[in-house]
Amino acid sequence: MDGSSLERRILEAKPATPDALAPYGQILGAGTDTPVGVSDFYEGAVAISAPVDFKSDDDTSISLATLQPRRFEIKYLERHFKHTQTFIPLGGKPFVAVFGAPTDGEMPDIDSLEAFRFDGQSGFTMHIGTWHEFPFAVEPDTNLVVILRNETTSNLSTENVKDGEAHGPDLDKKNLVQRTGTIFEIAV
């Protein structure tokens, strides 16, 4: 499709709050209403909580993604079937993420996509099956720790890319432009 025949839609990035993010996942950071326990060691100086319900059935990895600003356009959405992918900011730089609720069908419900602005103090863990695009940097050199299955990274490799999409046992990455003729722009 050429650029002139694309439908353009604007998503307003709203603040990422626990309530706003609930359909897609959970906020990961201080200030969430999570029960806190104190370790029996360290003279009570270490408080421990489990603010998100992380799940992975196998071979999970931690990586560091350094993001540079790019166009705030959504051309792809993906989902994962076997893990609750997590993004944790380092350095306090804001970033933007786009989500769509899990669907039973082959495609996301593009009419219900939402964009969220994170202040850089909290990250997120997505529910299994949540449609999303990789986060967008607002500032240069935005670092995010990414927790995901190694299989997902493998599913994104060249041999799994067909017609501009990637598919595998833990990945379903769709090209929205090809499939819907729509490109989403995020207003930050």
Q: CB neighbours (10 Å) of residue 114?
A: 17
**Are the C-beta atoms of 56 and 81 separated by less than 8 Å?**
no
For 150, the domain range is 3-187
Sequence letter at residue 35:
P
Residue that has been written with the tokens 């046992």 in this structure:
169
Number of compact structural domains in the chain: 1
CATH number of the CATH domain containing 174: 2.60.120.480
Please state the φ and ψ torsions of residue 30, each to the nearest 5 degrees. -65, 155
- How many angstroms separate the CA atoms of 1 and 153, rounded? 28
Query: pLDDT tens digits for the chain (188 residues)?
Result: 555 688 999 999 999 999 999 999 988 876 666 666 766 676 777 766 666 777 777 788 888 899 999 999 999 999 999 989 999 999 999 999 999 999 999 999 999 999 999 999 999 999 999 999 999 999 999 999 999 887 877 777 777 788 889 888 889 999 999 999 999 999 99
